[in-house]
Protein backbone atom coordinates (compact mmCIF):
# COMPACT_ATOMS: atom_id res chain seq x y z
CA UNK A 1 0.00 0.00 0.00
CA UNK A 2 1.36 3.42 -0.93
CA UNK A 3 1.60 5.73 2.05
CA UNK A 4 1.23 9.53 1.80
CA UNK A 5 4.48 11.37 2.21
CA UNK A 6 5.36 14.88 3.36
CA UNK A 7 5.99 17.23 0.42
CA UNK A 8 9.37 18.70 -0.52
CA UNK A 9 8.89 21.91 1.44
CA UNK A 10 8.75 19.89 4.67
CA UNK A 11 11.83 17.88 3.80
CA UNK A 12 13.50 17.67 7.20
CA UNK A 13 12.20 16.97 10.68
CA UNK A 14 13.14 20.32 12.16
CA UNK A 15 11.44 22.26 9.37
CA UNK A 16 8.35 20.07 9.72
CA UNK A 17 8.12 21.01 13.39
CA UNK A 18 8.70 24.66 12.55
CA UNK A 19 5.67 24.55 10.27
CA UNK A 20 3.61 22.93 12.99
CA UNK A 21 3.15 19.62 11.16
CA UNK A 22 2.15 16.97 13.67
CA UNK A 23 1.36 13.99 11.47
CA UNK A 24 1.93 12.89 7.91
CA UNK A 25 -1.73 11.91 7.78
CA UNK A 26 -2.58 15.61 7.56
CA UNK A 27 -1.36 15.57 3.96
CA UNK A 28 -3.65 14.64 1.09
CA UNK A 29 -2.41 11.37 -0.43
CA UNK A 30 -3.84 12.35 -3.82
CA UNK A 31 -1.77 15.55 -3.76
CA UNK A 32 1.52 14.17 -2.39
CA UNK A 33 1.40 10.60 -3.72
CA UNK A 34 4.48 9.77 -1.69
CA UNK A 35 5.66 7.66 1.27
CA UNK A 36 4.93 9.03 4.73
CA UNK A 37 7.66 10.73 6.72
CA UNK A 38 7.57 9.61 10.34
CA UNK A 39 7.70 12.91 12.15
CA UNK A 40 8.69 11.37 15.50
CA UNK A 41 12.33 11.29 14.37
CA UNK A 42 14.50 13.00 11.75
CA UNK A 43 15.70 11.59 8.45
CA UNK A 44 19.09 12.05 6.82
CA UNK A 45 20.39 11.32 3.35
CA UNK A 46 23.09 8.62 2.93
CA UNK A 47 26.67 9.63 3.60
CA UNK A 48 29.10 8.97 0.74
CA UNK A 49 31.59 6.18 1.40
CA UNK A 50 34.37 7.60 -0.82
CA UNK A 51 35.04 4.19 -2.35
CA UNK A 52 36.98 3.63 -5.54
CA UNK A 53 35.40 2.09 -8.63
CA UNK A 54 37.31 -1.13 -8.02
CA UNK A 55 36.12 -1.32 -4.42
CA UNK A 56 32.53 -0.87 -5.59
CA UNK A 57 32.99 -3.53 -8.29
CA UNK A 58 34.22 -6.02 -5.68
CA UNK A 59 31.35 -5.15 -3.34
CA UNK A 60 28.77 -5.53 -6.11
CA UNK A 61 30.17 -8.96 -7.03
CA UNK A 62 30.09 -10.02 -3.38
CA UNK A 63 26.47 -9.02 -2.90
CA UNK A 64 25.42 -10.55 -6.21
CA UNK A 65 26.63 -13.89 -4.88
CA UNK A 66 25.23 -13.27 -1.39
CA UNK A 67 21.77 -12.31 -2.69
CA UNK A 68 21.72 -14.97 -5.40
CA UNK A 69 21.63 -12.66 -8.42
CA UNK A 70 22.40 -13.87 -11.94
CA UNK A 71 22.44 -11.68 -15.05
CA UNK A 72 18.94 -10.96 -16.28
CA UNK A 73 17.24 -12.52 -13.23
CA UNK A 74 14.18 -10.84 -11.71
CA UNK A 75 15.14 -8.56 -8.84
CA UNK A 76 12.05 -9.31 -6.75
CA UNK A 77 13.62 -12.39 -5.18
CA UNK A 78 16.93 -10.57 -4.80
CA UNK A 79 15.23 -7.84 -2.78
CA UNK A 80 13.50 -10.42 -0.58
CA UNK A 81 16.85 -12.02 0.15
CA UNK A 82 18.36 -8.59 0.88
CA UNK A 83 15.47 -7.79 3.26
CA UNK A 84 14.17 -4.87 1.21
CA UNK A 85 10.57 -4.33 0.06
CA UNK A 86 9.45 -2.80 -3.25
CA UNK A 87 6.45 -0.48 -3.45
CA UNK A 88 5.06 1.95 -6.02
CA UNK A 89 4.23 5.64 -5.87
CA UNK A 90 2.59 8.15 -8.18
CA UNK A 91 4.71 11.02 -9.44
CA UNK A 92 6.24 13.22 -8.15
CA UNK A 93 8.25 10.44 -6.58
CA UNK A 94 11.10 11.92 -4.57
CA UNK A 95 12.30 9.02 -2.41
CA UNK A 96 14.19 6.10 -3.97
CA UNK A 97 15.01 4.18 -0.79
CA UNK A 98 13.37 4.73 2.58
CA UNK A 99 14.87 3.17 5.72
CA UNK A 100 12.80 3.75 8.85
CA UNK A 101 14.30 3.00 12.24
CA UNK A 102 12.18 -0.03 13.08
CA UNK A 103 10.60 -1.15 9.81
CA UNK A 104 11.84 -2.88 6.68
CA UNK A 105 13.52 -0.70 4.05
CA UNK A 106 11.37 0.18 1.04
CA UNK A 107 12.43 0.92 -2.54
CA UNK A 108 9.91 3.34 -4.09
CA UNK A 109 9.39 2.98 -7.83
CA UNK A 110 7.30 5.27 -10.04
CA UNK A 111 3.99 3.53 -10.69
CA UNK A 112 4.22 4.21 -14.43
CA UNK A 113 7.89 3.27 -14.82
CA UNK A 114 9.30 0.94 -17.48
CA UNK A 115 10.69 -2.44 -16.46
CA UNK A 116 14.27 -1.75 -17.58
CA UNK A 117 14.30 1.62 -15.81
CA UNK A 118 12.86 0.00 -12.69
CA UNK A 119 15.61 -2.62 -12.68
CA UNK A 120 18.32 0.02 -12.64
CA UNK A 121 16.52 2.02 -9.93
CA UNK A 122 16.28 -1.11 -7.79
CA UNK A 123 19.95 -1.96 -8.32
CA UNK A 124 20.93 1.63 -7.45
CA UNK A 125 18.82 1.54 -4.29
CA UNK A 126 20.48 -1.76 -3.36
CA UNK A 127 23.77 0.07 -3.85
CA UNK A 128 22.77 2.58 -1.19
CA UNK A 129 21.72 -0.33 1.03
CA UNK A 130 25.03 -2.14 0.57
CA UNK A 131 27.44 0.80 0.60
CA UNK A 132 25.99 3.59 2.71
CA UNK A 133 23.42 2.48 5.24
CA UNK A 134 25.70 0.92 7.86
CA UNK A 135 28.04 3.90 8.20
CA UNK A 136 25.23 6.45 7.92
CA UNK A 137 23.40 4.76 10.79
CA UNK A 138 26.55 4.92 12.92
CA UNK A 139 27.06 8.60 12.10
CA UNK A 140 23.41 9.55 12.71
CA UNK A 141 21.95 7.40 15.50
CA UNK A 142 18.24 7.84 16.01
CA UNK A 143 17.67 8.94 12.41
CA UNK A 144 15.92 7.28 9.53
CA UNK A 145 17.56 7.35 6.11
CA UNK A 146 16.07 8.45 2.80
CA UNK A 147 18.01 8.18 -0.45
CA UNK A 148 16.48 10.63 -2.90
CA UNK A 149 16.26 10.60 -6.67
CA UNK A 150 17.59 14.19 -6.62
CA UNK A 151 19.79 14.41 -3.49
CA UNK A 152 21.45 17.50 -2.04
CA UNK A 153 24.81 15.98 -2.98
CA UNK A 154 25.36 13.55 -5.85
CA UNK A 155 28.41 11.76 -4.43
CA UNK A 156 26.54 8.96 -2.64
CA UNK A 157 24.12 8.63 -5.55
CA UNK A 158 26.99 8.20 -8.02
CA UNK A 159 28.48 5.48 -5.83
CA UNK A 160 25.10 3.74 -5.68
CA UNK A 161 24.73 3.98 -9.47
CA UNK A 162 28.21 2.51 -9.96
CA UNK A 163 27.19 -0.38 -7.71
CA UNK A 164 23.94 -0.83 -9.64
CA UNK A 165 25.75 -1.03 -12.99
CA UNK A 166 28.37 -3.46 -11.69
CA UNK A 167 25.67 -5.54 -9.99
CA UNK A 168 23.47 -5.86 -13.09
CA UNK A 169 26.33 -6.04 -15.61
CA UNK A 170 29.37 -7.94 -14.26
CA UNK A 171 32.60 -6.80 -15.88
CA UNK A 172 33.63 -9.75 -18.03
CA UNK A 173 30.10 -10.66 -19.05
CA UNK A 174 29.51 -7.05 -20.06
CA UNK A 175 32.72 -6.83 -22.08
CA UNK A 176 31.78 -10.02 -23.95
CA UNK A 177 28.34 -8.63 -24.71
CA UNK A 178 29.73 -5.24 -25.74
CA UNK A 179 32.11 -6.89 -28.20
CA UNK A 180 29.22 -8.80 -29.76
CA UNK A 181 26.84 -5.91 -30.30
CA UNK A 182 27.66 -2.81 -28.27
CA UNK A 183 24.88 -1.16 -26.26
CA UNK A 184 22.00 -2.93 -28.00
CA UNK A 185 23.36 -6.39 -27.19
CA UNK A 186 24.17 -5.39 -23.62
CA UNK A 187 20.76 -3.81 -23.13
CA UNK A 188 19.01 -7.00 -24.22
CA UNK A 189 21.28 -9.39 -22.33
CA UNK A 190 21.15 -7.55 -19.00
CA UNK A 191 17.65 -6.10 -19.38
CA UNK A 192 18.74 -2.50 -18.78
CA UNK A 193 18.16 0.78 -20.65
CA UNK A 194 20.53 1.40 -23.55
CA UNK A 195 21.82 4.59 -21.93
CA UNK A 196 22.82 2.60 -18.83
CA UNK A 197 24.73 0.13 -21.00
CA UNK A 198 26.60 3.11 -22.50
CA UNK A 199 27.42 4.40 -19.02
CA UNK A 200 28.71 0.98 -18.02
CA UNK A 201 30.93 0.89 -21.08
CA UNK A 202 32.23 4.35 -20.24
CA UNK A 203 32.99 3.31 -16.65
CA UNK A 204 35.04 0.40 -18.00
CA UNK A 205 36.73 2.68 -20.54
CA UNK A 206 35.46 0.68 -23.51
CA UNK A 207 35.57 2.54 -26.79
CA UNK A 208 33.81 1.83 -30.06
CA UNK A 209 36.23 -1.05 -30.59
CA UNK A 210 37.78 -3.41 -28.08
Give the model's pLDDT for residue 38: 56
Residue 136, Cβ neighbours under 10 Å: how many?
Answer: 21
Residue 7 confidence (pLDDT): 32
pLDDT computed for residue 5 by the predictor: 35
Per-residue model confidence (pLDDT) at position 174 = 95
Could you tell me which of 201, 165, 133, 154 has the C-alpha nearest to residue 56?
Answer: 165
How confident is the model at residue 193, as a pLDDT?
A: 96
Average pLDDT score over residue span 174-180: 93
Q: Cβ neighbours of residue 57 under 8 Å, at least 6 residues apart?
A: 166, 171
Phi/psi at 134 (5° precision): -55, -50
User: What is the pLDDT, as a whole number, of residue 187?
Assistant: 94
What's the whole-number average pLDDT of the chain? 83
CB 177 within 8 A of CB 72: no
pLDDT tier, 186 (very low <50, low <70, confident <90, very high otherwise)? very high
Task: Give the model confidence (pLDDT) of 82-104 as tens digits.
Answer: 999 999 998 778 999 999 998 99
Q: Is the peptide bond before 172 cis (omega within 30 degrees of 0)?
A: no
The residue among 162 and 72 whose pLDDT is bigger is: 162
Rounded distance, CA 154 to CA 124, Å? 13
3-state per-residue secondary structure call for the chain? CCCCCCCHHHCCHHHHHHCCCCCHHHCCHHHHCCCCCCCCCCEECCCCCCCCHHHHHHHHHHHHHHCCCCCCCCHHHHHHHHCCEEEEECCCCCEEEEECCCCCCEEEEECCCCHHHHHHHHHHHHHHHHHCHHHHHHHCCCCEEEEECCCCCCHHHHHHHHHHHHHHCCHHHHHHHHHHHHHHHHHHHHCCCHHHHHHHHHHCCCCCCC
pLDDT in tens, 2-61: 333 333 333 333 323 323 333 333 333 333 445 555 557 899 999 999 999 999 999 999
Q: Is the dihedral of CA 159, 53, 139, 129 positive or negative?
A: positive
Q: How far is Cα 85 from Cα 65, in angstroms, rounded to an integer?
A: 19
| Higher per-residue pLDDT: 72 or 43 | 43
User: Do the strands 85-89 and 106-110 form a parallel or antiparallel pair, or are they unpaired?
Assistant: parallel
> In terms of pLDDT, which residue wins out, 28 or 158?
158
**Residue 73's pLDDT is what?**
82
Amino acid sequence: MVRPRVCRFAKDYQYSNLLGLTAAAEFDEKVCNMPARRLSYPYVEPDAAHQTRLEIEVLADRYAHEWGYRSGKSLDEVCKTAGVDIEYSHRPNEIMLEIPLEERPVIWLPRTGRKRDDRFIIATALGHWAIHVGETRKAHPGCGIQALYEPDSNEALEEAKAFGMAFLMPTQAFIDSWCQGRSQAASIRFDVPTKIAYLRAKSLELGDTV
